[in-house]
Structure 1
């Protein structure tokens, strides 16, 4: 049996994913446990934290990691940007979670009908880019859109899946710290897509020993 959320004992990436997967199954079925969400749990975390995973996901309001995986306080270290776009702050947060908090698993979490991916598809098709800092999001997602098209994928949801895979690859390519941690077997990275209507999180890629 896998250990429960909140344990400070080291877990293998596969064991962490099993906890998250089981929590997502409860969420899908409506039989959620809401673990580690009481006053006792809150008090136990005042001096330290030992999250079992870091979840790097889209900022979409429908993609709250602790809810869809049915976990609680201190269980997951969450990093979010629109379209799960990588920047220096994201990489620093991921490195901190792995090096300082010893989290053995990074989950890259995308979702269907992603507005940031849709905007990028439209921008690359029209040859125009949005104003302001939204342009930065589009520019960072564009390589994934182009890669998806080269592989024959045109729809938003197929492109989201490709973007999740590409994002996982870029994390390793962009951070020497995380690349080394993965080579040493200290962390694995999983790409996951979330279905808004069903509430289900599906694995689409994995890097490292999972």
Structure 2
């Protein structure tokens, strides 16, 4: 879709359709040939900005069956937010024209597990890993305050908090959502079966056939 701006709904359906192909074991591997490489060399027009966890099992173009020029990917451990992340996402929205921002979390997230251990047992981390844990801590505390005990609920709470934080800190993104030119959603990925499930959405009504 380089050169053509998708609507937010079309972008979301394109992403979810790719995930359905991946989970069914029938990926099409679109836009991964020499012709696509040549076509995208002068410029890029990704249909989605994907901000996900750095976990090696969350390779965005693979689990959503996309190719060159389709996704503008930003990744940090535990999808923690910093200035560089915000700048990258704003670049995807305001310069590249992507209509969809996706926060992608997953089960068995090491950052969330380490933060739960730090909060519950006082387990400490060294170096800059401690900074990651500190940024995930508000999500863990909120999940505990809500009475959650299941890991899935902690993951979903962290995804929700990340989406809220992006909208709170980035006026560029918030205005794009308010004007209807962009949407922000949170997805939770399941490592065992490869499915991505909708957790939260701003700027669109969830399609009737979206995962739940």
User: Where on the TM-score scale, by shorter chain, does this alignment land: which range?
Assistant: over 0.9
Partner of 2:119: 124
Residue number in structure 2 paired with 1:139: 134
Q: Equivalents in 1 of 2:140, 2:23: separation in Å?
A: 29
Among residues 171, 178, 183, which one is paired with 1:183 in the alignment? 178
Size of the aligned set, in residue pairs, is 205
Note the C-alpha offset of 1:13.
Answer: 1.1
CA distance in 2 between partners of 1:174 and 1:126 (Å): 31
State the secondary structure of the residue aligned to 2:108.
coil
**2:69 matches 1:74:** yes
Contact 2:47 2:98 in 1 (8 A): yes
Q: Answer yes or no: is the 8 Å Cα contact 1:114–1:156 preserved in 2.
A: no
Q: Does 1:57 align with 2:13?
A: no
Q: Secondary structure at the match of 1:9?
A: coil
- In the alignment, does 2:165 pair up with 1:159? no
**Is 1:32 paired with 2:27?**
yes
Query: Could you say which residue in structure 1 is the equivalent of 2:209?
Result: none
Deviation sequence 1:25-84 (CA, Å, 0-9, x none) = 110010110000001100111110000000000000000000000000000100000000
* Conserved 8 A contact 1:129-1:138: no
Quote the residue 2:78 is aligned against.
83
In structure 2, the gaps of 5 or more residues are: 206-212
Structure 1 position 114 matched with structure 2 position 115: no
- Establish whether residue 100 from structure 1 lines up as the match of residue 95 from structure 2: yes
Q: TM-score, normalised by structure 1?
A: 0.95
Deviations 1:64-105 (A, max 9, x none): 000000000000100000000000000000000000001000
Give 1:3's aligned residue.
none
Deviations 1:95-119 (A, max 9, x none): 0000000100000000000000000
Where do 1:5-16 residues align within 5 Å? 6-16=1-11
Distance between the aligned counterparts of 2:2 and 2:133, measured in 1?
39
Unpaired runs of 5+ in structure 1?
1-5
* 3-state secondary structure, aligned to 2:49: strand
SS of the equivalent of 1:77 reads strand
12, 17, 33: which is aligned to 1:17?
12
Distance apart, 1:7 and its partner CA: 4.4
CA shift for structure 1 position 127: 2.8
